Amino acid sequence: MEKFGRDEWVAQIEGRRKARGPWLRLAEQWQRVPLGLRFALFIILAAAVPLATDNDYVIRVAGNFVLYSILALGLNLVVGYAGLLDLGYVAFYGLGGYAYAYLSSDFSGLHWPTWASIPLVMFLTALVGLLLGSTSLRLLGDYLAIVTLGFGQIFVQLTNNMTRISLPGRAEPVDLTGGPNGIVNIDPISFLGFSASTVTHYYYLLLALLALILIVVYHLNNSRVGRAWRSLREDELAAEAMGMPTRWLKLLAFAIGAGIAGLSGSVFAAWQGNVFPNNFDVTLLILLYTMVILGGMGSLPGVVMGAFILSVMPEVLREVELSRYLFYGGMLFVLATMIRPWPRLVLVLVGVLVGGYLLKLAVMALWPTLVTTPEVASSFLGRALQAWLIIPPQATLIGNLAFVVVVPSLLFLSRTRYTIVRLIALIPTLYLLAFVWETRLAVEPSITRLLLLGVLLVVLMIYRPQGLLGQRRVEII
């Protein structure tokens, strides 16, 4: 059905009326604190990270989070404010990275000073954004999405392949991008005689950039242009009828978003010291979209929070023990919210635990060769799982089979109406899920991360399309 109007104000009032309970009230109190103050607090807290630890890895993760926040803020401006589905955003990031690398490395022989190269890179990416925008803005929403997605793909293809280009005036073909080997040994950022060399330097640099961009984006959103963008997002036809220059507004959003991406791309290139085509692929695009959507499209604290969750969580998942706690804790939380009243929840949990233990005892008594004894885990939870779960010799193969069984059964259980059937069927499913986690998902953290990202997107869209901190919109017809 065609949506006619959505009103943020009505939704806000309605949401406020619904805020009950101590947590929600606390959250509301927190909402009353001015946004600037909240962000100042956040920046101060973030700035204390390198003081609290001298572990480079932790600071690097924190720096990645800040970088992702900047990128997500730029994307939020295009998608969340102006409502343009730009799937080529990562290409602008890559363009910034490559342009900076080109201007300041041995690859081209140019070594421009930072104060000249970064503004030029920003201008360049914004210009490309403007060009791409102007060709595709005649297109309606979905067409824009596909053209920009194509642009992103082309960028990766070109950087991978432009290694032998014949230029007029040169006899030999020229390598323009370094191909899959990328461009290496990029100059660090330096200004006023100071050259950023350690992770901590870049961390503070990124944090300062984040603060700057937060201020810019906040004021932009509350300006005349920001209001125009929002009206454009809600109803383009009405906006145009009110005399808004919709074409220019869209182009502006596109160009500013591209500029921010280009800026973060050049800082990324300087920080890493090298750029490769696969730094800028679709996975990153999906990750950025998930950040913006998880936190709440259009909400600045939401976007930063989304970036935090999705950049720190994968690092946590790398640790087997930590990820184990996270996974089983998350499972328990989901069960507790889904199954009510609580005696049923207890029934299911006891059923899984006792049933699993009995199964293990039975199998050990009847077919002892089917059970292997893994090395003793370090944590309590790990040891408890070892006592409870059967790990057969061909764990990978059986884990894969269990995965194939578990996915459809979980899906069906999420859509059945018969609670008793659901409860009984849940017991073996949960057991299998634990089995799949231990044998496959915990073993392949990088695939698991992407798998969970996909699930998160679908579930989020179904249950909370506005994101964690986003505002629900109410239809007024």
Partner 1 sequence: MDLFWAQLPQQIINGLTLGAVYALIALGYSMVYGVLQLLNFAHGDVYMIGAFIGFGIMTALLPDKGDPLLASPLIILLMLMAAILGCGVLGIGIEWFAYRPLRSSPRLAALISALGVSFFIQNAIQLTLGAKFRSYRGDALIPPTLGWDIGSARLSAVRLLTIAVAVLMMIGLTYLVRRTRLGRAMRAVALDREAAAMMGVDVDQVIVATFFIGSALAGVAGVLTGIVFTRIWHSMGFTAGLKGFTAAVVGGIGNIPGAMLGGFLLGLVEAFATGFISSTYKDVIAFMVLVLVLLIRPRGLLGAAVLKKV
Minimum Å gap between C-beta 188 and partner 1 is 33
Nearer to partner 1, 113 or 141 (CB): 141
* Contact present, 389 and 360 (Cβ < 8 Å): yes
Nearer to partner 1, 176 or 207 (CB): 176
Nearer to partner 1, 40 or 401 (CB): 401
Minimum Å gap between C-beta 157 and partner 1 is 5
Minimum Å gap between C-beta 384 and partner 1 is 25
How far apart (Å, rounded) are the C-alpha atoms in residues 128 and 155?
Answer: 12
Which residue type, as a one-letter code, is found at position 77? L
The β-bridge partners of 195 are 190
Minimum Å gap between C-beta 400 and partner 1 is 4
CA 425 to chain CA centroid, Å, is 33
How far apart (Å, rounded) are the C-alpha atoms in residues 347 and 341?
Answer: 11
How far apart (Å, rounded) are the C-alpha atoms in residues 392 and 404?
Answer: 17
Residue 406 has, within 13 A of its CA and on its CB side, a CA count of: 19
Which residue type, as a one-letter code, is found at position 424? I
Cα(first)–Cα(last) distance of the chain, in Å?
A: 12
Minimum Å gap between C-beta 462 and partner 1 is 5
Which residue type, as a one-letter code, is found at position 359? L
Which residue type, as a one-letter code, is found at position 351? G
Judged by the rule CB under 8 A, the positions of this chain that interact with partner 1 are 1, 3, 85, 135-136, 138-143, 145-147, 149-151, 153-154, 157-158, 161, 237, 282, 286, 289, 293, 400, 403-404, 407-408, 411, 414-415, 440-441, 444, 447-448, 450-451, 453-458, 461-462, 465
How far apart (Å, rounded) are the C-alpha atoms in residues 122 and 203?
Answer: 20
Nearer to partner 1, 87 or 213 (CB): 87
Minimum Å gap between C-beta 78 and partner 1 is 13
Nearer to partner 1, 374 or 465 (CB): 465
Nearer to partner 1, 311 or 439 (CB): 439
Nearer to partner 1, 78 or 199 (CB): 78
* Contact present, 304 and 295 (Cβ < 8 Å): yes
How far apart (Å, rounded) are the C-alpha atoms in residues 126 and 134?
Answer: 12
Nearer to partner 1, 4 or 191 (CB): 4
How far apart (Å, rounded) are the C-alpha atoms in residues 253 and 133?
Answer: 9
CA angle 77, 83, 88 (to 5 degrees): 70
CB neighbourhood size of 159 (10 A): 27
How far apart (Å, rounded) are the C-alpha atoms in residues 408 and 404?
Answer: 7
Minimum Å gap between C-beta 187 and partner 1 is 30
Minimum Å gap between C-beta 408 and partner 1 is 8
How far apart (Å, rounded) are the C-alpha atoms in residues 45 and 313?
Answer: 19
Nearer to partner 1, 171 or 237 (CB): 237
Minimum Å gap between C-beta 472 and partner 1 is 11
CB neighbourhood size of 76 (10 A): 30
